[in-house]
Chain A
Amino acid sequence: MADSRPKKAKICLCIFLCLLVVGVIAVVVGVRMWRHSSEHMKWNGTGSTAHFQEIVLERCYNYTQLVQPELRDRDCQKIREAFRNAFISKDPCSATEEDYHPLMKLVNPTVPCDKTVFWSKTKELAHQYTKVQRELFTLEDTLLGYIADDLNWCGDTGSYEMNYQSCPHWKKDCSNNFVSVFWDLVSKRFAENACGVVQVVLNGSISNAFDRKSDSCSGSSINDLKWIIMQRNIKFTCQDNYRDCGPFADGRQPSPRESMTSCCLTLRPNTSSGSF
Chain B
Amino acid sequence: MEARGYARSRRPLPALLLILLLPPAAGAAGAADARWSGQGTIPHLQSIFLGRCAEYVAVLSPELRDKNCTAIWEAFKLVLDKDPCSVLPSDYDLFINLSRHSIPRDKSLFWENNHLLVTSYAENGRRFMPLCNVLYGMVGDFLSWCRQKNASGLDYQSCPTSEDCENNPVDSYWKSASIQYAKDSSGVIYVMLNGSEPTGAYPVKGFFADFEIPHLQKDKITRIEIWVMHEIGGSNVESCGEGSVKILEERLEKMGFQYSCINDYKPVKLLKCVQHSTHPDCALNSFAEHLCS
Contact = CB atoms under 8 A, between A and B. Distances in A.
Interface of A: 49-51, 54-59, 61-62, 65-67, 69-70, 72, 76, 124, 128-129, 131-134, 150-151, 243-244, 247, 249-253
B14 A66 contact: yes
B123 A61 contact: no
Given A250-B267, A251-B270, A49 B58 contact: yes
22 contacts: A49-B58, A51-B54, A51-B57, A54-B50, A54-B54, A55-B51, A55-B55, A58-B47, A58-B48, A58-B51, A59-B51, A61-B51, A62-B48, A66-B142, A124-B123, A128-B123, A132-B275, A243-B284, A247-B270, A249-B271, A250-B127, A251-B270
Interface residues on B, range: 35 or more
A56 B54 CA distance: 10
Contact of A69 (B17, B270, B271): B17
A61 B44 contact: yes
A129 B42 CA distance: 28
A142 to B, nearest CB: 16
Interface residues of B, dominant DSSP: helix
B32 interface: no
Contacts, number: 99
Contact of A251 (B50, B267, B275): B267
Interface residues of A, dominant DSSP: helix
A131 B21 contact: no
Contact of B43 (A65, A133, A244): A65
B271 A253 contact: no
Contacts of A131: 119-120
B277 interface: yes
B42 A65 contact: yes
A240 to B, nearest CB: 13
A166 to B, nearest CB: 16
Contacts of B29: none
Contacts of B151: none
Nearest to A249: B271
B274 interface: yes
Contact of B58 (A55, A67, A243): A55
Nearest to A245: B274
